[in-house]
Amino acid sequence: MNDADAIVVGSGPNGLAAAITLQQQGLSVLLLEAKPTVGGGLRSAELTLPGYVHDVCSAIHPLALASPFFRTLPLHDHGLAFVQPALALAHPFDNGRAVALYPSLAETAKNLGADGEVFQTLLTSMIERWPAVENNVLGPLRFPSHPLALAKFGLKALPSAMAMARKFSTAEAKGLWAGMAAHSMLPLDSMTTAAIGWVLCIAAFRGGWPVAKGGSQQIANALASYFVSIGGKIETNTEVKSLSQLPNAKAVLLDVTPRQVLGIAGHKLSSLYTWQLKRYRYGMGVFKVDWALDGAVPFAADICRQAGTLHIGSTLEEIRLSEAAAADGRYAERPFVLFAQQSVADPSRAPQGKHVAWAYCHTPNGSTADRTAVIEKQVERFAPGFRDRILARHTLNSAQLEQYNFNYVGGDINGGVLDLGQLFTRPVLRASPYRTSLKGLYICSSATPPGGGVHGLCGHYAARRALKDIFGISVKPLL
C-alpha cells in the first residue's frame, strides 16, 4: 500500500461516498475493503441455484433515489439502472383485501377508503415541505435553513407510530402505517418511529421504491467505477485490524460501527471517547431468507403480485406485538415480515419464468434461532401454495449476518439503535458526530447521522468534515 492523502476503510455505500467526496477535491484517496468485492450491504450473489441472483443484504432502494448525494453522480454512465415495480408496496390482510402505495398519492388515498382523505392530507403537506427539510432530516444536527417547515415536519415525525396511528380509523390504514414504521426496528410506541414511516412514504411518492437492475451489487459497482474514473484507488482482500497497518495519510475514515472502531483504534482514543463508544447501543437483529422459486408468488390479492415490496403482518396490533417481542429478547409467533420480490420488476434476476424472493423478520440481537418456518408460514398465509414453488432457499440468522458483515453487530442492519437518544447524536454527543478524539480519524458509517439506509450521506458528511478540518477545503452544500 502506498501513502495517500486520505484512506477510507470499508466499501459499503458510505465508505464509497466518503472516498468519492474526498477524491472529487483532488486528493489522493485509497479505499480498502476486507472482502474480494466492494459493496458492504450492497452485495448480490447466486445464493441458491445458478442463474438466480439474490441480494445478500439490502434489496429495495427508496433512499438511494432520495439521496441528494447520489443525485449529483453520473452513476447511469457507470452501468447503474433502477427499475420500478408497478406498485412500490402492498400490505395484505386476512380478509383477502390488500392496500398499496400506488404511484400517485391520490390513488393510494382512494384505496384506503374512509382514511384516504386523512392519509392524503397528512402526506401532501409533508411532500411539499420535503425539499425545505431534507438537508436536516438526511444529515447531521444543525441550524435549519427553513426552521418553520422543519418544526411542522417534526410535529408529525417525532411522535411514536402508535400515537400517529390514532389519526386513522380503519384496520387497513392502521396496518399499512404500522408496516411503514416497523422499518425503524424499534417498538412502535418509541418516539421517532413515525419519522421512519413518513420518510419512506415520502420517498415512495417522490421517486418510488426501486430495485437495481441486475442486483444491489450494481449500485456498489457503479460507485466504485466512478471513484476509479476520477483517480481513486481500491484495494480489496485487505482487512484492517489496526491503524498501524495503514500507510501514511493525513485523514483516515472508518466505515465501521463503534465496536469495530474500538478494535481498530481503541488504544489511540481518549478515555472519555472510548467510554462513550462503549455505551453505544445496538438494536434488534434480523433473520433473512432468500428463495429461488418455480414461479411468481401466488398472493391471493392481485395487487400483491404487482408490488416489489410487501409488509406481511396484517394488523397494527400484530405488528406492534412482533416488534415489541424482538426488542424485548423474545420471538413472536407471527413475526412482521418484510418481503421483496425483485424479479417482478427485474426479470434478469432469475431464469425465464422463474423468480426470486427475499425476506426477513426482526429477532433479538445476536439470535441464532432458525425462523425459516415461521416466515414461510406468514407468507403462505397470504399466498396459499407459496411453499410448493420453493426450489431452494438460503438463510442467515442474526449471528451469521454479523459474521458476514462485522458492521451488523448482533444482526442489527441499521448500525445501531435509531431512537431519540441516538438519532442525531450517533455514535456520541459531540460538536461533530464524525470526528473521533484522535486528530485525523473519522467515522463515516451508518453509526453516524443520518443512520441506516443506502444513501451514502453518512460517508459524504464525514468526508466534508475531514476536508474542512484537515485540508482546509469547504465543500458546497448539496442543497
Q: What is the CATH number of the domain that holds 241?
A: 3.50.50.60
Whether 125 and 202 share a structural domain: yes
Distance CA 324, CA 331 (A): 9
Q: Which residue has the cell 414511516?
A: 197
Whether 134 and 58 share a structural domain: no
With respect to residue 397, please indicate whether it lies within any of the assigned structural domains. Answer: yes
pLDDT at 143 (0 to 100): 86
Whether 136 and 248 share a structural domain: no
Distance CA 269, CA 247 (A): 19
Instruction: Yes or no: say if 390 and 327 are a contact pair by the CB < 8 Å rule.
Output: no
With respect to residue 1, please indicate whether it lies within any of the assigned structural domains. Answer: no
Range of the domain at 372: 82-210+283-404
Angle, helices 193-206 vs 147-157, to 10°: value is 110
Q: Which of 354, 385, 404 is the last residue of a domain?
A: 404
Cell of 235: 484495494
pLDDT at 171 (0 to 100): 97
Distance CA 197, CA 178 (A): 8
pLDDT tens digits, the chain, 479 residues: what are they? 788 999 999 999 999 999 999 999 999 999 999 999 999 999 999 999 999 999 999 999 999 999 999 999 999 999 999 999 999 999 999 989 999 999 999 999 999 999 999 999 999 999 999 999 999 999 998 888 899 999 999 999 999 999 999 999 999 999 999 999 999 999 999 999 999 999 999 999 999 999 999 999 999 999 999 999 999 999 999 999 999 999 999 999 999 999 999 999 999 999 999 999 999 999 999 999 999 999 999 999 999 999 999 999 999 999 999 999 999 999 999 999 999 999 999 999 999 999 999 999 999 999 999 999 999 999 999 999 999 999 999 999 999 999 999 999 999 999 999 998 898 889 999 999 999 999 999 999 999 999 999 999 999 999 999 999 999 999 998 87
pLDDT at 142 (0 to 100): 87
pLDDT at 298 (0 to 100): 98
Q: Which of 347, 373, 404 is the last residue of a domain?
A: 404
Distance CA 308, CA 302 (A): 13
End-to-end Cα separation, the chain, in angstroms: 36
Whether 357 and 429 share a structural domain: no
- CATH code where residue 137 lies: 3.90.660
Please state the domain count of the chain. Answer: 2
Sign of CA dihedral 420, 424, 426, 428: negative
Whether 334 and 412 share a structural domain: no
With respect to residue 477, please indicate whether it lies within any of the assigned structural domains. Answer: no
Q: Which of 382, 404, 426 is the last residue of a domain?
A: 404
Whether 354 and 225 share a structural domain: no
Whether 22 and 150 share a structural domain: no
Whether 355 and 314 share a structural domain: yes
Whether 343 and 378 share a structural domain: yes
With respect to residue 478, please indicate whether it lies within any of the assigned structural domains. Answer: no
Angle, helices 316-327 vs 171-181, to 10°: value is 30
Whether 355 and 373 share a structural domain: yes
pLDDT at 288 (0 to 100): 98
Q: Which residue has the cell 431452494?
A: 392
Whether 229 and 173 share a structural domain: no
Residue 461 burial by Cβ neighbours in a 10 Å radius (0-12, 13-18, 19+) = buried
pLDDT at 115 (0 to 100): 98
State phi, psi for 123 to the nearest 5 degrees.
-80, -30
Residues in the chain: 479
pLDDT at 2 (0 to 100): 81
State phi, psi for 288 to the nearest 5 degrees.
-120, 145
With respect to residue 389, please indicate whether it lies within any of the assigned structural domains. Answer: yes
| Whether the predicted model's global pTM rises above the 0.85 cut | yes
With respect to residue 121, please indicate whether it lies within any of the assigned structural domains. Answer: yes
Whether 21 and 130 share a structural domain: no
With respect to residue 476, please indicate whether it lies within any of the assigned structural domains. Answer: no
pLDDT at 141 (0 to 100): 87
With respect to residue 132, please indicate whether it lies within any of the assigned structural domains. Answer: yes
